[in-house]
């Protein structure tokens, strides 16, 4: 979220990759450029810092120059269930650092989210028809960018046993419900934000006025204080592709407190 979150991720990711022996890293970049989408240069910086795949969301197209980039850079995903005429792709197959095949699927919710062109549930079936976890793919990670906790929980259950993890994004507030579902899929309703939490979901506290007054008074801009990095660390069984653990990551840049 904005410069605060972006720079914290770029600073911390190389060290985290090494220390936690990460085979594969997905970063959601929906709000990286001053809160609105991402530029090609920023995307390159995330790849250089150790991200394997970048996912977007409802703000992905806010920076005009990203449109051409999406057509050539397969590691930057837009939601798969947007209209098929939208540039870019919503799924990618990547060889992880351990040599195994991983797939990332990016979906967007239909509730309170006008950009979905098709059902994320239908797209899940459609995209997974090519992949059998533990047979022709070692891990399938789903980033579900959605507003409603109910819709996110439903997609987690719907995908259970067919993917390694369903991780929610978009609300910027981490939920404390990380767990392994009945059939072995790791799930967290929302992974939270990397950014300044002394804010209104990453935007400067002046955003309070918009709610209090009931009309837009000026543009929103990101809060610029020290970031807290939030994420999820998922361990996947090499044979089955199912999750063996999920741990919530929270690293406070101001105090250096860390859960990992």
Active site residues: 59
Residue matched to tokens 């801009």:
221
- Confirm or reject binding of residue 30 to Fe ion (CB under 5 A): yes
Nearest of 211, 88, 232, 98 to residue 164 by alpha carbon: 232
The least CB distance from residue 27 to Fe ion, in Å, is 14
C-alpha atoms less than 13 angstroms from C-alpha of 54 in its C-beta half-sphere: 30
The least CB distance from residue 141 to Fe ion, in Å, is 18
Residue ranges in the chain assigned as alpha helix (H): 2-19, 40-49, 66-72, 120-128, 149-159, 208-213
Q: What are phi and psi of 210, to 5 degrees?
A: -60, -40
Residue matched to tokens 């060290």:
15
- Confirm or reject binding of residue 58 to Fe ion (CB under 5 A): yes
Distance separating alpha carbons of residues 173 and 42, to the nearest angstrom = 23
The least CB distance from residue 57 to Fe ion, in Å, is 4
36 or 47: CB nearest Fe ion: 36
- Confirm or reject binding of residue 253 to Fe ion (CB under 5 A): no
16 or 146: CB nearest Fe ion: 146
Considering only residues 169 to 188 of the shown chain, the ones binding Fe ion according to CB under 5 A are 170
Q: Which residue is nearest to Fe ion (CB)?
A: 57
- CB 159: neighbour CB atoms within 10 A? 26
Nearest of 59, 9, 260, 51 to residue 169 by alpha carbon: 59
- Confirm or reject binding of residue 222 to Fe ion (CB under 5 A): no
The least CB distance from residue 161 to Fe ion, in Å, is 27
- Confirm or reject binding of residue 151 to Fe ion (CB under 5 A): no
Exactly one of 37, 50, 57, 231 binds Fe ion (CB under 5 A); which one?
57
- CB 126: neighbour CB atoms within 10 A? 14
The least CB distance from residue 104 to Fe ion, in Å, is 17
149 CB contacts (<8 Å, ≥6 apart)?
168, 175, 189, 190
Among 67-75, 129-137, 166-174, 190-198, the segment contacting Fe ion (CB under 5 A): 166-174
How many residues sit in the footprint of Fe ion (CB under 5 A)?
4
Q: Three-class SS string for 97-122?
A: CCCCEEEEEEEECCCCCCCCCCCHHH
Binding footprint of Fe ion on the chain (CB under 5 A)? 30, 57-58, 170
């Amino acid at each position: 979220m904005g410069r605060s979150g972006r720079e914290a991720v770029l600073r911390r990711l190389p060290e985290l990759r090494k220390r936690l022996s990460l085979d594969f890293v997905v970063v959601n970049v929906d709000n990286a450029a001053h809160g609105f989408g991402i530029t090609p240069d920023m995307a390159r910086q995330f790849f250089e810092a150790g991200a394997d795949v970048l996912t977007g969301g409802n703000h992905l197209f806010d920076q005009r120059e990203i449109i051409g980039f999406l057509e050539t850079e397969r590691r930057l995903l837009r939601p798969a269930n947007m209209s098929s005429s939208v540039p870019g792709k919503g799924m990618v197959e990547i060889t992880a650092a351990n040599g195994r095949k991983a797939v990332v699927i990016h979906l967007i919710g239909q509730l309170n989210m006008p950009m979905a062109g098709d059902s994320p549930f239908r797209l899940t079936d459609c995209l997974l028809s090519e992949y059998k976890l533990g047979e022709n793919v070692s891990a399938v990670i789903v980033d579900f960018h959605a507003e409603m906790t109910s819709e996110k929980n439903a997609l987690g259950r719907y995908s259970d046993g067919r993917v390694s993890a369903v991780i929610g994004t978009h609300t910027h507030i981490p939920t404390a419900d990380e767990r392994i579902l009945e059939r072995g899929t790791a799930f967290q309703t929302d992974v939270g934000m990397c950014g300044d939490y002394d804010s209104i979901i990453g935007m400067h506290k002046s955003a309070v006025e918009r709610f209090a007054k009931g009309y837009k008074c000026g543009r929103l801009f990101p809060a610029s204080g020290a970031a807290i990095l939030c994420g999820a660390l998922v361990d996947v069984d090499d044979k089955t592709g199912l999750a063996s653990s999920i741990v919530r990551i929270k690293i406070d840049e101001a105090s250096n407190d860390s859960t990992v």
